[in-house]
Amino acid sequence: MSLSPIRVAVSCAVLALTAGSLAACGANDSSSGGKKIALLLPETKTTRYESFDKPLFEAEVAKKCGDCDVVYFNAQGDQNKQQQQVTTAINQGVDVIVLDPVNGDSAASMVSDAKAANIPTVAYDRFIDGADYYLSFDNEKVGELQGQALVDATNNTGNILMLNGAPDDPNAAQFKLGAHKVLDASGLKIVGEYDNPDWSPDNAQQYVTTQLSKMDPSSLAGVYAANDGQAGGVIAALTGAGVSTSDLPPITGQDAQLANIQDILAGEQYMTVYKPIPVEADQAADLAVNLANGDDITGTTTFQDTPSYIFTPVVVTKDNVKSTVVADKFYSVSDICTSEYKAACDAAGISS
């Protein structure tokens, strides 16, 4: 990979300022008349989509297909808006649709619309019934890893809160299933559980704040947070309730967001699940280019009778930040080890 995701994003920002327009990094950067590949992402509250998935996908398509255009849309968490965007992509005559759905169930009709127009579809990161292909990480395993990390960090005893993802997100159901497999068989007691309707960190903070008003915060052994955004909300709620950062209980997460990696090094968050997005985005781009060009597709496995690429998630704690997200160049040392976190980086053996 020739460009880091961060460098791609920065380059886009510079181009946008230079040109006085966002077109430099938008959906229709080129008008070459070649193949059109639609990329539809679900929201922007989770930083990965705009900061990583989009630029990585676009860069890999550009590398593999010089005359391919990426037509980009983001639904901002609105499934009706995403339906309109799929319709727009179909009307524009795209050759492939790569879709990360806001709602996996409702997206089945979007896939049907694309099929009626003879456009192949790729379910990206979240499963869609009827899609031609599916790419994601082992999502049930993600929940198992989070649950086991919490069991280990709490010595398998005490009360915990559980914050899951959005009920209409098919991945969230798999994370929850995997986590419950571990937690329900453990010595931990779930004293409150919340399905966050839009993965909102603000909702997570409000929920935990309400729960803490009913208990002594020191009685909480840990918190299962299904992703890093919610983990940040949990930390804000706990510190807002008077818990010092040095006394925070173990908190899980997912997505390896930069701020959360820093929180892990500082001891404020226990772990995150790193899903190497470059692997997923690059494979999706390669698949989309091959579909657009009518080439043979190889290397798939099967998930729910759909040809799929399933990738392996990785647990990240302060002990392996250097050998995971730094070694993979997901973040540079300078990204992580700002002045505020220099001491924590030094303690973890990460030097600039």
Do 117 and 50 share a domain, yes or no? yes
Strand partners, 195: 164
Tokens at 34, concatenated: 């070649």
Instruction: Based on the fold, state whether residues 98 and 174 are members of the same structural domain.
Output: no
Does one domain contain both 105 and 144? no
Residue 352 lies in a domain: no
Q: Is residue 346 in some structural domain? A: no
pLDDT per residue, tens digit, the chain (352 aa), is 333 333 333 333 333 333 333 333 334 443 446 999 999 999 998 888 999 999 999 999 999 999 999 999 999 999 999 999 999 999 999 999 999 999 989 999 999 999 999 999 999 999 999 999 999 999 999 999 999 999 999 999 999 999 999 998 889 999 999 999 999 999 999 999 999 998 999 999 999 999 999 999 999 999 999 999 999 999 999 999 999 999 999 999 999 999 999 999 999 999 999 999 999 999 999 999 999 999 999 999 999 999 999 999 999 999 999 999 999 989 999 999 999 999 999 999 997 6
How far CA 176 is from CA of 10, 49, 147, 197, 276, in Å, comes to 35, 22, 9, 14, 21
Cβ–Cβ under 8 Å, residues 72 and 14: no
Identify the CA nearest to 310 among candidates 164, 109, 111, 142.
142
Q: Could you tell me the CATH number of the domain that includes residue 54?
A: 3.40.50.2300
Dmax over Cα atoms in the chain, in whole Å? 63
Domain boundary among 247, 275, 303: 275
What's the domain count of the chain? 2
Which tokens belong to 44? 């922007």
Question: Tokens at residue 9, please?
Answer: 């994003």
Q: Pull the structure tokens for residue 109.
A: 């009709």
Question: Do 260 and 280 lie in a common domain?
Answer: no
Determine the structural domain holding residue 55 and report its residue range. Answer: 5-131+276-311
Same-domain status, 23 and 121: yes
> What pLDDT is recorded for position 33?
63
Question: Looking at the domain assignment, is residue 335 inside a domain?
Answer: no
Helix, strand, coil abundance in the chain, percent, nearest 5: 45, 20, 35
Residue 89, H or E segment: helix 79-91
pTM: 0.81
Structure tokens at 295: 């080439």
Confirm if 180 and 210 have CB atoms less than 8 A apart. Answer: no
Same domain, 171 and 270: yes
State the pLDDT at residue 223: 98
Please tell me whether residue 303 adopts helix, strand or coil conformation: strand
Shared domain check, 110 and 26: yes
Rg (CA), the chain: 21
Q: Quick one: 236 and 294 in the same domain?
A: no
Q: What is the pLDDT of residue 257?
A: 95
| Bridging pattern class, strands 188-195 and 158-164 | parallel
Q: Are residues 67 and 115 in the same domain?
A: yes
Task: Identify whether residues 153 and 182 lie together within a single domain.
Answer: yes
Same domain, 126 and 178: no
